[in-house]
């Protein structure tokens, strides 16, 4: 009965905007929904998020790519244990803005860490939990960066365009490798179209769960 949906993509792809509208539609349809995000879907996750993204004091040693990876993974393990699995266990629907694919795309492809090792540690953090459906919002890196609010740019968002292109390449390869789970949506189209495509992928699954969908 449960359903685990994740939304993925590069910076400014529209994940937050699309998640908000999907959540509103699901709530209006009476879905037992938990919306959450990474990094930061728990109190501990928000502490880790602040550690990852705050301006680092000059006295602090730089965060290495593997250290960065383990900080994301610590938050994910806790998020899975305390929020995601309990919701799924009671038959609820989880809509999560970023999950394990982000670590493959950003740390393995973006930071160029060893892909197999990143997969292994990711698997430990998720305890093998996989989303039922992942919506990959695919928009060219330059367009995504143009959309992102400069004042909200974090340490990773401020990486080079080459970095963001590698991230996108990572997502595209993941989508090719797992076409049943990862559905790509052209996020360069107007937001309203992106939302309708996303909803068309989600609503049949909700109907199969027994929900009466109103939109
Ligand atoms: N990260 C990582 O490295 N490893 C990991 O394991 C995890 C994360 C989990 C923070 O993530 C960083 O963490 C992120 C990856 C890394 N770094 N980067 N880059 P985040 O999810 O908190 O932050 P973000 O991806 O940078 O979010 P964002 O910039 O807010 O992007 P978004 O949520 O996809 O976009 P949005 O806020 O919905 O839209 C941005 C603007 O564009 C807004 O004004 C919208 O109205 C507009 N928009 C959206 N869609 C459209 C369309 N289709 N047309 C026109 N305008 C649009």
The answer to whether residue 137 is domain-embedded is yes
pLDDT at 150 over 80: no
State the DSSP code for 63: P
The answer to whether residue 215 is domain-embedded is no
Q: Kindly report the CATH number assigned to the domain that includes residue 162.
A: 3.40.50.300
Specify the pLDDT at position 215: 54
pLDDT digits (tens, 9 = 90+) for 159-178: 999 999 999 999 999 999 99
Test site for ligand 1: of 14, 24, 146, 153, most ligand atoms within 8 A of the Cβ: 14
- Determine if ligand 1 sits within 6 Å of the CB of residue 13: yes
| Atom 16 of ligand 1: nearest residue by CA position | 156
Give the model's confidence band at 156: pLDDT under 50 very low, under 70 low, under 90 confident, else very high.
confident
The average confidence (pLDDT) of the chain is: 95
The answer to whether residue 214 is domain-embedded is no
Give the range of the structural domain holding residue 111, as residue numbers without chain letter. Answer: 3-208
Specify the pLDDT at position 214: 66
For residue 170, give the H/E element and its range: helix 161-177
- Determine if ligand 1 sits within 6 Å of the CB of residue 138: no
Of 53 and 118, the one with more pLDDT:
118
- Determine if ligand 1 sits within 6 Å of the CB of residue 118: no
- Determine if ligand 1 sits within 6 Å of the CB of residue 17: yes
The answer to whether residue 127 is domain-embedded is yes
The rounded distance, in Å, linking the Cα atoms of 51 and 177 is 33
The rounded distance, in Å, linking the Cα atoms of 157 and 110 is 11
The answer to whether residue 201 is domain-embedded is yes
- Determine if ligand 1 sits within 6 Å of the CB of residue 16: yes
**How many structural domains comprise the chain?**
1
pLDDT digits (tens, 9 = 90+) for 5-30: 999 999 999 999 999 999 999 999 99
The answer to whether residue 152 is domain-embedded is yes
Test site for ligand 1: of 8, 17, 73, 78, most ligand atoms within 8 A of the Cβ: 17
Give the model's confidence band at 59: pLDDT under 50 very low, under 70 low, under 90 confident, else very high.
confident
The answer to whether residue 213 is domain-embedded is no
- Determine if ligand 1 sits within 6 Å of the CB of residue 98: yes
Counting DSSP H helices and E strands in the chain, the numbers are: 9, 5
Q: 199 to each of 18, 39, 51, 137, 172, how far by Cα in Å?
A: 9, 24, 34, 13, 21
Q: pLDDT exceeding 90 applies to what percent of the chain? A: 88
Query: Residue 136: phi, psi to the nearest 5?
Result: -100, 110
């Amino acid at each position: 009965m449960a359903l685990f949906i994740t939304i993925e993509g590069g910076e400014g792809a529209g994940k937050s905007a699309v998640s908000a509208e999907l959540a509103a539609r699901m709530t209006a349809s009476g879905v037992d929904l938990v919306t959450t995000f990474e990094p930061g879907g728990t109190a501990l996750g928000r502490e880790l998020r602040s550690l990852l993204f705050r301006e680092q004091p000059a006295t602090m040693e730089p965060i290495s790519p593997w250290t960065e990876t383990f900080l994301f993974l610590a938050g994910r393990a806790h998020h899975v244990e305390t929020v995601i699995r309990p919701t799924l266990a009671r038959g609820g629907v989880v809509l999560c803005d970023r999950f394990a694919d982000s670590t493959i795309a950003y740390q393995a492809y973006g930071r160029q860490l060893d892909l197999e090792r990143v997969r292994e540690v990711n698997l430990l953090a998720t305890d093998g939990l996989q989303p039922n459906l992942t919506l990959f919002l695919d928009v060219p890196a330059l367009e995504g960066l143009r959309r992102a609010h400069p004042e909200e740019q974090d340490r990773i968002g401020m990486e080079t365009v080459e970095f963001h292109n590698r991230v996108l390449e990572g997502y595209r390869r993941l989508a090719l490798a797992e076409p049943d789970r990862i559905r790509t949506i052209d996020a360069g189209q107007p937001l309203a179209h992106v939302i309708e495509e996303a909803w068309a992928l989600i609503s049949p699954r909700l109907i199969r769960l027994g929900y009466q969908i109103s939109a």
